[in-house]
Structure 1
Amino acid sequence: MKRKFPNLSKPIRIGNVMFRNRMFSAPMGGTDITADFCIGPASKAFYELRAKGGAGAVTVSEVMVHGETDGSHAYHLDLSIPGSLASATYTADAIRRHGSIPSVELSHSGQFAGTYLADKTKKQSLTQWGVSPTVRADGIHVQPLTQEKINEIVQAYGEAAGLAKRAGFEMVMVHGGHGWLINQFLSPLFNKREDHYGGSLENRCRFAVEVLKSVRAAVGEGFPIEFRMSGSEFVEGGYDIAEGVEIAKRIEEYVDLIHVSAGTYQGTFGITHPSMFTEHGTNVFLAAEIKKQVKKPVATIGGLNDPAQMEEIIASGKADVVEMARALLADPFLPRKVMVNEDQDIVHCLRCFVCMAERAETTTRRCTVNPLIGRELEGTDIYPAPVKKKVVVVGGGPGGLEAAKTAAQRGHQVILFEKDAELGGILNCEAAIPFKYEMYQLGQTFAKQARDLGVDIRLNTAANKQNIEAEQPDALIIAAGSSPILPKLEGIDGPNVTLINNYHKKPDAIKDSVVILGGGLAGCEAAIHFARQGKKVTVVEMRKEVAPDANVRHRPLLIQELAKGVDVKTEHQGVRITSEGLWCLSPSNQEILIPAKSVVVAVGQRPNRSVAEELLDAAPFVVEIGDVVRASTITTAVYQGYHAAMDI
């Protein structure tokens, strides 16, 4: 067989272990942590799915090595905890039995202990230990680690590594990046010590070297040790790539794989986890620079999800391994699809941060495009229905397509009615915005999968009670979506006005100055796009803040992007549109003109209830999903579409 991506698909030996390909599942926090800090059954299933999907390695995250100085927000491996070793063993076995190499990330949060605790008030009761005495931004005092405590932590890394090996893990990752404890020692931003751990680079690397020696003594020669580091911290007072290279050279002899990430805990979330506003592979240059200077294999990470790009990274020698996290939530089977030349069926990560927002808010997992994530224990395989039925789906947006293809996978006869000339629904609106193109691509991928599964797709066919009843379906899934809200403003029908939903059909209609009526997520993202085109952009929002519908991880980055070139006017209400622009009522109730050659209306969506209400009795079993119920998100539509089909 000739592989389309031969370099990605090629095995690699790290230490004495052979990995089946160059695509690794990077550390992601699990979905349940027991009261005793063990890996819960839901987490075991969560990690196993990535192994089933073909990843070369799957890393469990995170094991906190020293509970006394690190108020845990994650797992422990500790023989004093009943079930700790057993839960780790079952997890390693669940990964290994699918041919993937199980790894575990060993960490210590240092002065940021308890960061991801669901109960944020508990952080106030933690004793925070760090490299140097300081006061955190949230007012919590940090005590410097004594030599005695440092020795204990170094020993604890080795003990945890030894237990991981006993449990069946075949690699360990030592977390030395992102502002956690080892990085706090490495970084001049945090490390103000005047002893043999501070000052020179040699001294700042001392703790990392001691930890790695402790781990090596516990696991033995040939057992792979992966060291995760920030190639550059990207903050004032931190280290840059030049010093990152020197750090890599100093730790190289003690490790088998150098995993190059980016950023630190303080203010670089969007760099460590590249958002949709950045180019894919934006951090690869860090790994490429380090690889020039070391002999050990190097891994790269950061918003990677395109096999062609990842193949080029390996082929050109920028890195030896590519690691993915969010991409393997969106499609756990991405590696397997790459290996068998089915890359056209990959469901790409949208970099929308729903997964990380859910993690921060509820300590669970959810993915916009994958309804199984975080709920793997409920089953990840779609089994044939015991009785095959005729199913009609109304609406070819993300929810309807998910429902149609899932029902087809179960063996049902599926007909999909779509009133427009193409599938994709509201996702088609994103085709003209480059950083949201993957949302458009999602609709196209779902459409391809539905066609490949034999769904009878009827375009340009509006559903009504007559044509649905004529099919005599056993089940009807109504995914008729929503329509844009059109405010009753004078001039709303003017030639200078474009509905946000129609922008992709006539992008050239937007002139060099534009005002956007509506500061929700859609309006703000369009504003960023127009500003990047060099246009003069103003967003008008009647509420006190913009983008309240954005999730807690995406919104801060969106606000940062707006600040680069968009004039935002909150508490302003549009009253009429003229050829001059948009007239508004200001907070002081004064009419003001916001001059612009183009006006884009993005005030929200309204469910297509009339369609749903007409069809409620058109089949014995009827279910409504997605926006037709309540204008919501892609996440909701996909999740409800999947389960509607599973219920038939």
Structure 2
Amino acid sequence: MKYSKLFSKGKIGNLELKNRIVMPAMGTSLATSTGEASDEIIKYYEERAKGGCGLIITEITRVDNETGIGTPNQLCATDLKHIPRLEKLARTIHRYDSKIFLQLHHPGRQTHEKMLNGKKLVAPSAIMSSAVLEMPRELSTEEVEGLVKKFVISANIAKTSDIDGVEIHAAHGYLIGEFLSPLTNLREDKYGGSFEKRMRFLTEIVVGIKNTCGAKFPICVRIDGDEFVPGGFTLDEAVKASVHLENLGVDAINVSAGTYESVNAIIEPISYPQGWKRHLSQAIKDKIKIPVIACDVIRKPDFAESLLEEGNLDFVALGRQLLADPEWGKKAVEGREKEIRPCISCLHCIENVMGCKTTKCAVNARTGRELEYPAFEKNGQNRVVAIIGGGPSGMEAARILAIKGFKPILFEKGNTLGGSVNLASKPPLKDKLTWFIDNLIYQIKQLNIDIRLNTAPSIDDLKLLNPYAVFLATGSSPIVPKIPGIEKNDVYTIVDVLNRSTSIKGENIVVVGSGMTGLETAELLVSQGKKVTIIEMQDKIGPGMYLPNLIDITTRLKKYNVGMIPSMKLVSIDKGSITIENTADKTVVNKVADAIVLSLGVKPNNSMVTELENNFSIVKVLGDSLIPGRIADAIQTAFEKSYVLE
């Protein structure tokens, strides 16, 4: 077998797992409003079990309904009423010879009062998180003792429900992690002070579960290998804690990293490579004998296999990769690696969950909607569907339509597929976008789809095909405002820069607009030795961007000494300079600029819509051609409109 380590059996305690693939806990908000395992969440986990996971660890599961609410529709194990649906969940996963753990969780200070029906957040000590900005109150000793009992009760509910084991969430700055960290635990009672006292809360939970559920009921503990917060829980303490937990009888350690204050260490943006924190799991594995599970931006089977061969870990936690493709394991074992749709680390999934919505995936429109979109109905009858535009939405539509039995014909005016994502992949550290486009191209070629490059069909050309439907996926074009000097030779759009159709002369470059594309284009320019300043008309850099992505890119830009100036509007362009106006006080400033790069958004390329609708009965507009957006929008519109076509 090509991946002999990955698909070898393994053990956590006495529990045998069919392979080394673990789906770690990720929030979904797919449970019912009363915390029971809904049909939606059961189907969601079933898809991952069916796709080849050896062990599934559920999303954060609530142990306390008063102060422990992490998300509105959160899986719960707080009441006996939760047992029947948890039992159904376990039974469903077991059909595929997979195992399932319930992750027991309390958010501590990393939630919001609005989640707790106005109650104050709780924590080991009254120290506010700079990410949450709500002051918690310190738990009393009696309250901490009561929470120990609640964790034990939840573990008992899991065992009664035929769940195979539990994972205690002691990482990511949540309540147990707050007790472990010297930064957030300043208590003077038996739960604070020395390392042993900071470990006491977790120790009592482990001992309580062992005493109640029996020594053979598996317990995994998820800890931070490093919080990456000054003064916080470090790798040295993580190693020490892991040894202590092994001595208590814990059956596995799941190594992660980060808190909300170092959020990009928990759920990494696109710039983070596979294996960037492998030193954390290695340090812990070197000191303990029980199995180590670790997540580390693992995307490809060969990389997962290499970590197992090196002895870096015992079980591979895939995380977001299993949102992008639940069949990762099945495809890997069958030698179909090129079919695996890669996670692009765009953070669309967590952005939705943190916004109190259900989980979604930018590159897999079925994620979290598996019940809504079951197996594809083969109703195409070989009818022709013309698709104009070979970007992500056009290729996704072609893929779905071909699977459904239609005959898609994909037109692309350029000489390559990929559309605007090809441009988006050009800045530094964007290789995952290239993986994504390569995967889409591979899939549609495997389906033998008729692809016509260097072709922009006219209405007459389309009529010759007698199509059943026409899909328009022609993307968007950069917005160029009408201001004095805009026509000058030293003014470029981000398309000019990213497709390298022109060589920008001069040293001092001003990028106008600080959306993600503008910031990434600035990074490309500084990597080429340019001196770059970014101006933004809004009062903040990166308006509308998801904060972790913004932190990631601006942190790197600051290292390059890129100037980032908000509240500045471009007024006019002259040779060698620009005039900008402060949007607050209307003061005008001249700034040296050898060249100007415009990143002011895009407008839909939909000029054909009316003519298409006048000539064809079924016309669907996809992606940026409909409303300019992100990859998630392109994939979702393409998937949905292809799925419902009859």
Shared fold per TM-score greater than 0.5: yes
TM-score, length of structure 2 as denominator length: 0.93
Q: Does structure 1 conserve the Cα–Cα contact (< 8 Å) formed by 2:123 and 2:136?
A: no
Give the Å deviation of 1:321. Answer: 1.4
Match of residue 24 from structure 2: 26
Q: Does structure 2 conserve the Cα–Cα contact (< 8 Å) formed by 1:384 and 1:410?
A: yes
Q: Does structure 1 conserve the Cα–Cα contact (< 8 Å) formed by 2:428 and 2:523?
A: no
Give the Å deviation of 1:456. Answer: 0.2
Question: Structure 1 pair 482/258, CA: closer, same or farther in 2 (3 Å)?
Answer: same
Q: CA RMSD in A?
A: 2.4
Match of residue 293 from structure 1: 287
Question: Structure 1 pair 534/335, CA: closer, same or farther in 2 (3 Å)?
Answer: farther
Question: Structure 1 pair 535/279, CA: closer, same or farther in 2 (3 Å)?
Answer: farther
Q: Does structure 1 conserve the Cα–Cα contact (< 8 Å) formed by 2:63 and 2:105?
A: yes
Match of residue 368 from structure 1: 362
1:599 to 572, 596, 604: 596
Question: Structure 1 pair 344/493, CA: closer, same or farther in 2 (3 Å)?
Answer: farther
Residue 381, structure 1, aligned to residue 381, structure 2? no
Question: Structure 1 pair 111/500, CA: closer, same or farther in 2 (3 Å)?
Answer: closer
1:121 to 98, 114, 122: 114
Give the Å deviation of 1:415. Answer: 0.6
2:197 to 194, 203, 224: 203
Question: Structure 1 pair 24/352, CA: closer, same or farther in 2 (3 Å)?
Answer: same
Q: Does structure 2 conserve the Cα–Cα contact (< 8 Å) formed by 1:305 and 1:324?
A: yes
Match of residue 223 from structure 2: 229
Give the Å deviation of 1:529. Answer: 3.9
1:182-261 matches, cutoff 5 A: 182-253=176-247, 254-261=249-256
Match of residue 88 from structure 2: 90
1:571 to 554, 564, 567: 567
1:92-171 matches, cutoff 5 A: 92-112=90-110, 114-115=111-112, 121-123=114-116, 125-134=118-127, 138-146=133-141, 148-171=142-165
Give the Å deviation of 1:367. Answer: 1.3
Residue 475, structure 1, aligned to residue 469, structure 2? yes
Residue 452, structure 1, aligned to residue 446, structure 2? yes
Q: Does structure 2 conserve the Cα–Cα contact (< 8 Å) formed by 1:71 and 1:126?
A: no
Paired with 1:489 and 1:153, the residues of 2 have a C-alpha distance of 63
Give the Å deviation of 1:141. Answer: 4.1
Paired with 1:216 and 1:353, the residues of 2 have a C-alpha distance of 37
Residue 642, structure 1, aligned to residue 639, structure 2? yes
Paired with 1:440 and 1:614, the residues of 2 have a C-alpha distance of 34
Give the Å deviation of 1:556. Answer: 4.4
Question: Structure 1 pair 233/25, CA: closer, same or farther in 2 (3 Å)?
Answer: same
Question: Structure 1 pair 531/255, CA: closer, same or farther in 2 (3 Å)?
Answer: farther
Q: Does structure 1 conserve the Cα–Cα contact (< 8 Å) formed by 2:380 and 2:406?
A: no
Paired with 1:490 and 1:111, the residues of 2 have a C-alpha distance of 52
Count the aligned residue pairs. Answer: 637
Paired with 1:386 and 1:397, the residues of 2 have a C-alpha distance of 22
1:511-590 matches, cutoff 5 A: 512-531=507-526, 535-564=530-559, 565-577=561-573, 580-587=576-583, 589=586
Paired with 1:438 and 1:611, the residues of 2 have a C-alpha distance of 32
Paired with 2:536 and 2:448, the residues of 1 have a C-alpha distance of 45
Residue 405, structure 1, aligned to residue 386, structure 2? no
Paired with 1:78 and 1:321, the residues of 2 have a C-alpha distance of 29
Instruction: Give the unaligned 5+ runs of structure 1.
Output: none
Paired with 1:121 and 1:151, the residues of 2 have a C-alpha distance of 25
Match of residue 78 from structure 2: 78
Q: Does structure 1 conserve the Cα–Cα contact (< 8 Å) formed by 2:270 and 2:432?
A: no
Deviates further, 123-132 or 165-174: 123-132
Give the Å deviation of 1:129. Answer: 3.4
Determine what percentage of the aligned residue pairs are the same residue: 30
Q: Which amino acid aligns with 2:68?
A: D
Give the Å deviation of 1:627. Answer: 1.1
Match of residue 173 from structure 1: 167
Q: Does structure 2 conserve the Cα–Cα contact (< 8 Å) formed by 1:31 and 1:46?
A: no
Give the Å deviation of 1:124. Answer: 6.5
Residue 320, structure 1, aligned to residue 314, structure 2? yes
Match of residue 413 from structure 2: 419
Q: Does structure 2 conserve the Cα–Cα contact (< 8 Å) formed by 1:472 and 1:619?
A: no
Give the Å deviation of 1:12. Answer: 1.4
Paired with 2:377 and 2:313, the residues of 1 have a C-alpha distance of 39
SS of 2:308's equivalent in the other structure is helix
Deviates further, 314-323 or 304-313: 304-313
Q: Which amino acid aligns with 2:235?
A: I
Q: Does structure 2 conserve the Cα–Cα contact (< 8 Å) formed by 1:64 and 1:75?
A: yes
1:54 to 52, 55, 76: 52
1:504-524 CA distance string (max 9 Å, x none)? 432893565422122222102
Q: Which amino acid aligns with 2:562?
A: V
TM-score, length of structure 1 as denominator length: 0.92
Q: Does structure 1 conserve the Cα–Cα contact (< 8 Å) formed by 2:380 and 2:401?
A: no
SS of 2:193's equivalent in the other structure is coil
